[in-house]
Structure 1
């Protein structure tokens, strides 16, 4: 029995008065992998290089959104809450793009994954972002 992870990228405007969601993009539009494999999502933006901070969030079905990791170019990821590098990895070599990986896919990984970029870490500031819903399907 194989478990596959499917994702679709949907643009989302996080708050009024900011750039359109189309300025931040997650790829690929369809992502899947067998159970215990890794799944990588990429995020890029068309804002200028002052938007160098990247956040990755996860929202499981029936739950609120939770920040998984924060990263800036050429730095180590800063994980939030109970999230760790054992399950997730994030990388960011340049201001305009970064990557996020869910390691060793399992049923509990099904949910929505969001990428957000920020010019600075002021938490009162709103971010432009996209979201990636993650669905799991068992195939026999």
Structure 2
């Protein structure tokens, strides 16, 4: 069975204000997995989702801008919810297979276009 491990991106002074749930998860192939992410940072309205497999770089899966999901081409995930403060954004990975096994990260930021 495929096992999937989830964690959230550290390294920012605001990392304690970004929360991902669950912290880890094990699922069988063919099943679906859901991860939620929320933050408590004023003015941040983007949640980004990343995947990292063993010995590889981070791969951007997509992001949520307020309530608008954007999934990278060729990526088979669903992003739903709301990226505003104290709201929840959900990443769904359907039909898990062996290379779904990875560390998944969420990160929050503000949408820079609103600050020009």
Query: Scaled by the length of structure 2, what TM-score is found?
Result: 0.82
Alignment of 1:41 onto 2:32: no
Count of matched residue positions in the alignment of Structure 1 and Structure 2: 111
Match of 2:15 among 8, 13, 21: 21
- 1:4 is displaced (CA, Å) by 4.4
Q: Mind listing any 5+ residue stretches in structure 1 that lack a counterpart?
A: 123-140
Q: Mind listing any 5+ residue stretches in structure 2 that lack a counterpart?
A: none
- Structure (1/2) with the larger strand percentage: 1
Query: Structure 1 pair 88/115, CA: closer, same or farther in 2 (3 Å)?
Result: same
- For 1:107 and 1:4, how far apart are their aligned partners in 2? 5
Query: Scaled by the length of structure 1, what TM-score is found?
Result: 0.69
Query: Please, what is the CA RMSD of the aligned residues?
Result: 2.0
Q: For residue 80 of structure 2, what is the aligned residue in structure 1?
A: 91
> Which structure would you say has the larger Rg?
1
Residues 1-140 of structure 1: pairs in structure 2 closer than 5 A: 3-9=1-7, 12-14=10-12, 19-48=13-42, 50-75=43-68, 77-83=69-75, 87-93=76-82, 95-96=84-85, 97-121=88-112
